[in-house]
Amino acid sequence: MNENTLGTAVAGQLSEQIAAYCDANAIPGFVAGVYHSGEQIVVAHGTANVTTGAAMGADTGFLFGSVTKVLTTTMVLQQVERGLLDLDAPVVKYLPDFALNVPGAADKILVRHLISHTNGIDADLYFPDAEGRDAVRRYVEGLATAGGTLFEPGEQVSYSNGGMIVAGRLLEVVTGLPFSELIDREIYQPVGMTDSSTSAEQAILRSTAIGHFPNPETMVAEPTRMFTLPQTWGPAGGTPIGTVADLLTFGRTHLAGGVSPSGTRVFSAESAALMQRVSGDMVSPNVPPMGLGWVRYPFGDTTVLAMSGASPGGVSILCVVPEFDLVFTAFGNTPGAVMLQDQLLQWLLREHLGVEIPTLITESAADFDLTPYAGTYRSDQLRIDISVVDGTLEERTAYEPADAAQGAIFTAFAGGVTAAPPQRYVPIRPGLFAPEGYPLELFDGYLRLLLVSFHDIRDGRATFRNGGGRLTRRV
């Protein structure tokens, strides 16, 4: 490893940016890693747990969150290679009892719809509280009453926790192993993710960070009251835990077409390529094209394969840039750390790799009719009321739990916040809006997800709202 190129220069720059941002924004701790063309660095800053004062170290573990979705998708492709799954087969071929609360809707969903976020399952905030070997099975069984539909399979793209959990259950059925054991056998061991696990009981045996939320009055970071989501959410990212070094190793395995750094063939080059290929595209700046597992973020002519992951009070990210043989991964232990992750990713692309990142949004739009977008939009336990106010769209978002148990889990996951303050959006062009008060250059990077788009105009009204890659449907 040449410490004079990646090691010294990039580590110093990342450390300076991380320390300055964390200190200015009350982020207790942050850890990041970069692999580039045979060289690798990890930098850490601050505190992993404000209660204990434990330092955030290069080897500190953290919850992967939805980064797990790429691991789950990789396992699906492994089973396709072995002939145990067919991407174009109906899910009910393998799960005959799979059902949603709309008769016949589940029968139309193919295996590939689950991992391409094109399945239409409306259960993104469904949190059944079950533990043990049958946890994922319990989730899928509950969809028969709790799982609705947003759209016909394959018609739209909407980020889907439910689809990925059903994919996890498929893996359990065709392999005979619970998800927690399967991910260890098929991913952690062959990839070389030596510090990864799937439970708090395992994580407690080593250094592990916890999440934090800013106190709304003092803005001081306070520890989360929930470490992980229930085990029912394992395949979507509820329970897997590991280190930056582990995620760098996983990312490198994808860079190498399925061969781990130790030389083990984990999955085929064809599967790696298939995961990177476009499988769905909403053709909107705020919704990057979807691969299988990966989201394909265009930064000019360079594609960044990425997935971020929220956990209770924390956020992770994994980015793979095949064109430049680079992997970037990071974790911060407050939700606001996503802003720093975007800053570091753009710095690596612009300054380290020389990528030209064009301006995504140059100016707000002239007047156009906003009435097609006003109305009430809903998805699982989420309500968004939109009205036209002073030439902007004003949104009021509220979580409406199905029952007390759902409410308790979501409230803990969100740090006690169940309703957002009103947010106004300025028009950029018909169907596309930006949150008021933000500089337009903020949306050039990963945070383009903060833009809101509207889709499928029928009878003068939008059918869908897309925010953060998730659809809600007009009611």
**Segment among 86-95, 153-162, 362-371, 398-407 with least mean pLDDT:** 362-371
Closest CA to 73 of 335, 318, 301: 318
Of 162-176, 216-230, 432-446, which has the strongest mean pLDDT?
A: 162-176
Q: How many CB atoms lie within 10 A of CB 309?
A: 22
The long-range contacts involving 137-142, CB below 8 angstroms and separated by at least 24 positions, are 137/169, 137/172, 138/232, 139/165, 139/169, 139/232, 139/233, 140/95, 140/98, 140/165, 140/166, 140/169, 141/97
The per-residue pLDDT for range 376-391, each reduced to its tens digit, is 999 999 999 999 999 9
Cα–Cα distance between 427 and 372 in angstroms, integer? 13
Q: What are phi and psi of 304, to 5 degrees?
A: -105, 120
Contact by Cβ (8 Å): 410, 418: yes
The mean pLDDT of the chain is 95
User: Averaged over 283-307, what is the pLDDT?
Assistant: 97
* pLDDT confidence tier of residue 5, bands split at 50, 70 and 90: low
Contact by Cβ (8 Å): 454, 284: no
The per-residue pLDDT for range 420-467, each reduced to its tens digit, is 899 999 999 999 999 999 999 999 999 999 999 999 999 999 999 999
Element spanning 291, H or E: none
Closest CA to 380 of 407, 395, 402: 402
User: Averaged over 234-251, what is the pLDDT?
Assistant: 98
pLDDT over 70 at 141, yes or no:
yes
pLDDT over 50 at 2, yes or no:
no
The three-state (H, E, C) secondary structure of 302-354, written as one string: EEEEEEEEEECCEEEEEEEEHHHCEEEEEEECCCCHHHHHHHHHHHHHHHHCC
The per-residue pLDDT for range 25-59, each reduced to its tens digit, is 999 999 999 999 999 999 999 999 999 999 999 99
The predicted structure's pLDDT at residue 9: 83
Q: How many residues are present in the chain?
A: 475
